[in-house]
C-alpha cells in the first residue's frame, strides 16, 4: 500500500488551488444572493481545462486518469468559495460528459464532447421526476419509437444546471412489458430540439449559483442514434455510472471540508476570550481534533474509491460509504464552524452561513443519507426493506 502522492500530482493540485483562489468565487456572495449562474467563472474553468479533466485528449479533454482527476477536483473545492459553481462543474462532468465518454457512440462523442470540454455547451442530467427519485422504476417519462426517431414525453424535476444547460442525458421508459432492469433507455437530448422547455426554475436554500429547474419534453423527436447504448440499457448505464458519480463528485467536497477545518483552526488560534485563545478551551480543541480526524478519514476513503475505480473494480459499497460519510461530515463541520464564530458566523457577510446552506444539500443529492444507508446494508447482505424488484445500484436522487 502506497499512500504517497507524486511531485507531479502535488504540482497539479497547487496549480488548481492557485487558479481557483485567484480566478473563481470572487463574486460568490453576489451569485448566492441573486441565485445567478457565474457564466464568467464557467468560461474561466473551460479555459483552464477543468471541464475536460477526465475526457480523452482526442476530444479536447485533459486525459487525466481518475486519480489525478480526483486530486484536481479536491483542489478545486478547496480553492473555490463558490460551492454552487463547483457543483455545476461536477454535474457537467460526472452526470453528462462521463456518460458520453463511457457509453456514447463514436459519433455522439465526436459531436458533443469537444463542445462540453470547451464550455460551449453546458451539460445536465435528467433522471428524477416528482414521483420517481430513488425509485427509478416509478419513472413516467416515456419514449416511443417512430421510424428513425424516438418521441419523448414527460417532465423531469430537480435538474441541476437545467435552466442553463444545452445538452441533457435523459432517461425514459421505452417498454412496459420488459423486466424493470430492461425497461429504461438513455438519450442525449439538446435544448434546441422542438418540444424541450424549461418550465420552472427553483429557488433553493443553498448551492444557489447552480441553477435547478424542471424540464418538460412534449412530443420531442430524438434521432435514434442519440440513444446511449442500445434499447433497454438505461438501468445498466445509470447503475454503472452512479457509483462513479457518488464517489467522484464528492472529491470537491473533501476539498471544501479541508477549507472549513482550516478556517476553524484559524479562528481557534486568533479569537481571544477570557485572556486566551478559544482553542485553549478543551471543548473547542477536542472539536477541532475530531474535525481533523474526519478530514483524514474522508480523504482516505475518497482515494480508496478512486483507486478501485481506476482498476475497474466494483466500488458500490465504498462509493455509498464515501458519499454518506463526506456529505454528513461537511454538514456537521460547517455547523460547527458557525458555532465557533458565534454571532459572526450567522451573518451573511462572513460567508459561513452560506457554507452551512450549501452543505445541507450534500445529504440529499446523488442519493439521500437514508438511501445510502439502505444501499450499504443491502450490499453487506442484510435483508432489504425496498422490495425484491429494486437494486441498491439504482438508488439516487438527482439534485
Quick: pLDDT tens for 215-257.
Answer: 999 999 999 999 999 999 999 998 878 777 777 889 999 999 9
Q: CATH code for 7-123?
A: 1.10.540.10
CA distance 358 to 245: 18
**Under 8 Å between Cβ of 195 and 218:** yes
Residue 395 has pLDDT above 80, yes or no: no
| Those residues with Cβ within 8 angstroms of residue 137's Cβ, 6 or more apart along the chain or in another chain | 180, 183, 389, 390, 394
Whole-Å CA distances, 11 to 8, 18, 170, 306, 381: 5, 11, 37, 19, 42
Instruction: Report pLDDT for 390.
Output: 41
The neighbour count for residue 155, using CB atoms within 10 Å, is 17
Ordered by start, the domain boundaries in the chain are: 7-123, 124-231, 237-394
Tell me: the pLDDT tens digits for 304-322?
999 998 888 888 899 999 9
Structure pTM?
A: 0.93
Domain spanning 237-394: which superfamily?
Butyryl-CoA Dehydrogenase, subunit A, domain 3 (1.20.140.10)
* pLDDT tens sequence across 88-120: 999 999 999 999 999 999 999 999 999 999 999
* 3 state DSSP class of 128: coil
- Give the HSE-up count for residue 326: Cα atoms under 13 Å, Cβ half-sphere: 32
Looking at the domain covering 124-231, what would its CATH class be?
mainly beta
Q: Which of 129, 214, 245, 374 is catalytic?
A: 245
- Residue 397 confidence (pLDDT): 32
pLDDT tens digits, 162-208 = 999 999 999 999 998 888 789 999 999 999 999 999 999 999 999 99
pLDDT, average across residues 261-274: 96
The rounded mean pLDDT for the chain is 93
Query: Can you give the pLDDT at residue 47?
Result: 98
Q: What confidence score (pLDDT) does residue 270 get?
A: 94
Question: Does the annotation count 245 as an active-site position?
Answer: yes
Percent of the chain having pLDDT more than 70? Answer: 96
**Cell output for 267:** 479562528
Amino acid at each position: 500500500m502506497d499512500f504517497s502522492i507524486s511531485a507531479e500530482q502535488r504540482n497539479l493540485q497547487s496549480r488548481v488551488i492557485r487558479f481557483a483562489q485567484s480566478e473563481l468565487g470572487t463574486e460568490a456572495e453576489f451569485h448566492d444572493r441573486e441565485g445567478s449562474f457565474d457564466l464568467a467563472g464557467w468560461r474561466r474553468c473551460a479555459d483552464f481545462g477543468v471541464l475536460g479533466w477526465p475526457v480523452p485528449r482526442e476530444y479536447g479533454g485533459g486525459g487525466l486518469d481518475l486519480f489525478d482527476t480526483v486530486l484536481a477536483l479536491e483542489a478545486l473545492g478547496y480553492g473555490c468559495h463558490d460551492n454552487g459553481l463547483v457543483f455545476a462543474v461536477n454535474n457537467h462532468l460526472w452526470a453528462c460528459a462521463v456518460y458520453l465518454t463511457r457509453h456514447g457512440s463514436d459519433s455522439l462523442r465526436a459531436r458533443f464532447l469537444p463542445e462540453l470540454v470547451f464550455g460551449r455547451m453546458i451539460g445536465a442530467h435528467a433522471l428524477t421526476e416528482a414521483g420517481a427519485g430513488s425509485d427509478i422504476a416509478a419513472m413516467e417519462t416515456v419514449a416511443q419509437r417512430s421510424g428513425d426517431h424516438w418521441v419523448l414525453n414527460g417532465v423531469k424535476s430537480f435538474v441541476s444546471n437545467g435552466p442553463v444547460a444545452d445538452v441533457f442525458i435523459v432517461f425514459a421508459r421505452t417498454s412496459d412489458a420488459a423486466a424493470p432492469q430492461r425497461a429504461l433507455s438513455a438519450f442525449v437530448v439538446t435544448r434546441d430540439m422542438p418540444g424541450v422547455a424549461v418550465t420552472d426554475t427553483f429557488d433553493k436554500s443553498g448551492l444557489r449559483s447552480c441553477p435547478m429547474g424542471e424540464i418538460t419534453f412534449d412530443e420531442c423527436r430524438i434521432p435514434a442514434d442519440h440513444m446511449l447504448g442500445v434499447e433497454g440499457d438505461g438501468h445498466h448505464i445509470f447503475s454503472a455510472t452512479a457509483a462513479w458519480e457518488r464517489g467522484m463528485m464528492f472529491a470537491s467536497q473533501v476539498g471544501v471540508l479541508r477549507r472549513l477545518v482550516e478556517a476553524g483552526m484559524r479562528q481557534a488560534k486568533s479569537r481571544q476570550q477570557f485572556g486566551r485563545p478559544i482553542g485553549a478551551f478543551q471543548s473547542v480543541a477536542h472539536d477541532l481534533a475530531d474535525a481533523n480526524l474526519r478530514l483524514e478519514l474522508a480523504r482516505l476513503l475518497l482515494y480508496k474509491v478512486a483507486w478501485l475505480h481506476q482498476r475497474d473494480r466494483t466500488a458500490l459499497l465504498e462509493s455509498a460509504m464515501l458519499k454518506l460519510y463526506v456529505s454528513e461530515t461537511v454538514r456537521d463541520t460547517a455547523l460547527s464552524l458557525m458555532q465557533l464564530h458565534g454571532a459572526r458566523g450567522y451573518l451573511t457577510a462572513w460567508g459561513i452561513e452560506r457554507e452551512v446552506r450549501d452543505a445541507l444539500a450534500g445529504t440529499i443529492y446523488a442519493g439521500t443519507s437514508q438511501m445510502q444507508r439502505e444501499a450499504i446494508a443491502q450490499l453487506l447482505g442484510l435483508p432489504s426493506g425496498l422490495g425484491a424488484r429494486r437494486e441498491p445500484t439504482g438508488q439516487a436522487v438527482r439534485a
